[in-house]
Amino acid sequence: MLILFNKPYGVICQFSPHEKHKTLKDYIALPGVYAAGRLDTDSEGLLILTDDGRLQHRISHPRYKEFKTYWVQVEGEPEEQALAALRRGVDLGDFITQPAEVRRMDEPAGLWPRTPPIRERKAIPTSWLELKISEGKNRQVRRMTASVGLPTLRLIRYAVGQHTLDGIAPGVWQQL
């Protein structure tokens, strides 16, 4: 079984109860499925769940180079040197990232509002990037954009490999 879930902001990627946040159990009432990878509580978007341990490992393990595509709203206007740094790989102190595919993009069409909304500052513009990586270490995308001077305001995982969020509203899942 393969489940595609559009995880809302503020939801924790676990099935056990949490004192402050909703969890996967609040949205998915299927026994025996587990997340293949994770998304931080303050990130949104595609989460894949399965009841197949081998498939779960293949999707989530960096050895298999399953590309993950993120839509990233950042503070500021990205200059080419910042994008070039992301394309080369960024030294985050504890590791150097693999090169990312990155491009500027318009705000995604049909994007749902985030609750709560991001903080906006009148004097500082925001921009959108599409970022593709095959890793997925803790808070990696946020750390990468911050290291090149573009703090992440909103982070949405749009795709994992060939699977995308297309047609899946926040808080909704579909079985493939």
Distance of alpha carbon 60 from the chain centroid: 13
Q: Which of 26, 40, 42, 51 is catalytic?
A: 40
**Cα torsion through 103, 140, 60, 38, rounded to 10:** -110
- The residue whose two tokens read 């970022």 is 131
DSSP letter (8 states) at residue 121: B
**What is the longest distance spanned by two Cα atoms in the chain?**
49
12: DSSP letter: B
Burial class (CB in 10 A: 0-12, 13-18, 19+), 175: exposed
Query: Which SS3 state, helix, strand or coil, does residue 21 take?
Result: coil
Residue 52 designated active-site: no
Q: Is 131 exposed, middle or buried (0-12, 13-18, 19+ CB in 10 A)?
A: buried
Which residues does the annotation mark as catalytic?
40
